Copies of this chain bind each other. A is one copy, B any other.
Amino acid sequence: MAIVLGPNRYGKAETRLVQVTRDGDTHGLTEFTVGTALSGDLTATHLTGDNAGVLPTDTMKNTVYAFAKQHGAGQPEAFALLLARHFVGTQPQVVRARVTIEATGWERLGPHSFRRKGDFTRLCAVTVEESFTQVVSGLKDLVVLNSTASEFHGFRRDRYTTLAETTDRILATEVDARWRHLSDTTDWAESFEKAKDAMVNAFVNTYSLSLQQTLFSMGSRVLESRPEIAEIRLALPNRHHYLADLSPFDLANPGEVFIAGDRPYGLIEGTVTRDDAPPARAEWYL
């Protein structure tokens, strides 16, 4: 038996880039938080501290800022691909590059004025090797709520089950979604907007008997409407709303006043996929 180095990678996390584009007096604004991670033959630095194969993480940070100037930040997926291909293409010791981006949304207020949008964060994760490229898009922090059209009953019971069945409850969740693309070229902006809208529309329009049913509906709607997407993973916390018991005060409460719960919460995770999609080549959940 020997003790050996297993899988490893290194990089720069949370490089914060803001780019102003100037089209005459009208400015554009892009804000990305970029993470890079490189893999390859890194045994020497781990075993002896020989850094000859280690491009500094500081260099990765510099590259993010320099590439923004040279190529423009643009769409997250395209910028991540540029960066990942650069590292694999110029560093012979690098076998794989993974670049992740969180994009902050800004709403225009004037020619050079903006307000930060806080309704969700757009995400992407790109993995590049010499022989393949994988692009994952996604979003997080999107909170949606249906105040009715949600039931939960007919569930399995055991000795520890006390939950009452319900035919009318609030269904609320904070969407965390990641979807894997079939190729590395598409209209990233349109693809993202339409995928997001498909998910939200499915949430709104699904009469729900379980959050799992809503999840599958959301995922299916994305795949039905977006042929460029191979599969989608959703993690949906069930943000419980408990009907307040007002009976001690002789008040009825027919689905009006709720206690918003913090913890614990249900957590429903699932993948919806095309049965003919090629398998993922790299771990693809962000």
Contact = CB atoms under 8 A, between A and B. Distances in A.
A286 interface: no
Point out which of A1, A54, A156, A215 has the most chain B C-beta atoms below 10 A from its C-beta: A156
A256 B19 contact: yes
Interface in A102-129: 106-107, 109-110, 112-120
Contact of A48 (B47, B63, B213, B273): B213
A110 to B, nearest CB: 5
A97 interface: no
A158 interface: yes
Interface of A is mostly: mixed
Contacts of A241: 18
A143 interface: yes
Contacts of A210: 45-46, 49, 51, 54
A168 to B, nearest CB: 10
Contacts of A9: 269-270
A266 B11 CA distance: 6
Contacts of A209: 45, 48-51
Nearest to A204: B113
Interface string A73-97: 0000000000000000011010000
A282 interface: no
A147 interface: yes
B155 A51 contact: yes
B69 A256 contact: yes
A52 to B, nearest CB: 6
Given A59-B158, A112-B146, A265 B13 contact: yes
Contacts of A203: 113
A278 interface: no
Interface in A5-63: 5-22, 27, 29, 31, 33, 35, 37, 42, 45-59, 61-63
A143 B104 CA distance: 11
A132 interface: no
Interface in A223-278: 223-224, 231, 233, 237-238, 241, 244, 246, 248-249, 251, 253, 255-276
Interface in A146-186: 146-149, 151-163, 170
Contacts of A56: 152, 155-156, 161, 163
13 contacts: A2-B274, A5-B270, A9-B269, A10-B270, A13-B266, A15-B263, A17-B260, A42-B212, A50-B154, A68-B256, A91-B158, A113-B146, A113-B147
Given A7-B271, A58-B161, 13 more contacts: A8-B269, A11-B267, A16-B261, A18-B260, A49-B212, A50-B209, A51-B153, A51-B155, A54-B210, A57-B238, A59-B158, A69-B246, A93-B156
